[in-house]
Amino acid sequence: MATQKSHLIPSRSAKRANYEPETIHSILDEALYCTISYSFENKPFSIPTAFVRYGDKIYIHGSVGSHFIRELEKGIPVCITVTLMDALVVAKSAFHHSVNYRSVVIFAQAEKVERVQDKIEAFKWLTDKIVPGSWDYLRPIKENEVRKTTALAFSINEASAKLRTGMPVDDEEDQSLPIWSGLIPLQNGRMAPIADELSRDIALPEHLVGVGI
């Protein structure tokens, strides 16, 4: 199902907009953090948090006592943003410097996940996204930990992606200048695991073997 476009059409570089669910989902699945922006008492707030996509919703979690979580669970309007930076675009002029990126903007309201089993499923999805394959390896979650944690879901039906790819686009009169132009790729990934003092004699679990290599 295509996403809704109401108030999502960008005012600049509209040709970079993309409303295809496959594109939006791929960006959300690669990103580890999003930023959730909202208004409280006429003041703006913008909070980064880990998230996971499952189906047509994204999920976050937080302490039941968190002011941030308690405000969101009221169902107030929020704007959720995600950005992946792929490369610095170096042109022959500062004016045409840019960035290759993939981003998503979502407008939504939180839905509180009430059923205990649904909460646990959301925690599993998030845990396995941050450290793939780790949920079944870890000590099982306790009942009181579930009670102390709120899970919130946000529909991604009203979402848009925006992307830039490719080399710099210089003015025609600048293209012959003896000034280097091109891309500086950016990399953000998992490095090799480092054990703490309590785990130095414990073999690296299978789901972590090869991470960062």
Model's pTM, two decimal places?
A: 0.90
pLDDT at 96: 98
Retrieve residue 199's tokens.
């785990």
pLDDT at 78: 98
Retrieve residue 139's tokens.
């000590």
Average the pLDDT over 193-204 and give the result. Answer: 97
pLDDT at 1: 44
User: pLDDT at residue 31 above 80?
Assistant: yes
Pairing between β-strand 182-185 and β-strand 52-54 as defined by DSSP bridges: unpaired
Residue type, 87: A
Give me the chain's average pLDDT, please: 94
For the stretch 17-26, pLDDT in tens is 999 999 999 9
Average the pLDDT over 175-196 and give the result. Answer: 96
What is the CA 77 to chain-centroid distance, rounded? 18
User: pLDDT at residue 2 above 50?
Assistant: no
Domain borders along the chain are 14-208
Among 7-11, 27-31, 87-91, 99-103, the least confident range = 7-11
Higher pLDDT, 111 or 213: 111
Average the pLDDT over 31-50 and give the result. Answer: 97
Calpha distance 24→58 (Å, rounded)? 12
User: pLDDT at residue 173 above 50?
Assistant: yes
Percent pLDDT > 90 in the chain is 91
Torsion-angle region of residue 41: left (phi > 0), alpha (psi -120 to 50) or beta?
left
Classify domain 14-208 at the CATH superfamily level: Electron Transport, Fmn-binding Protein; Chain A (2.30.110.10)
User: pLDDT at residue 209 above 90?
Assistant: yes
pLDDT at 3: 54
Q: Rounded to whole angstroms, what are the CA distances from 39 to 13, 30, 68, 72, 109?
A: 27, 28, 11, 10, 13
Pairing between β-strand 98-112 and β-strand 149-155 as defined by DSSP bridges: antiparallel
The residue among 182, 150, 156 whose CA lies nearest residue 65 is 150
pLDDT at 142: 98
User: pLDDT at residue 58 above 70?
Assistant: yes
How many of the other CB atoms lie within 10 Å of CB of 203? 8
Residue type, 39: S
pLDDT at 55: 97
For the stretch 85-107, pLDDT in tens is 999 999 999 999 999 999 999 99
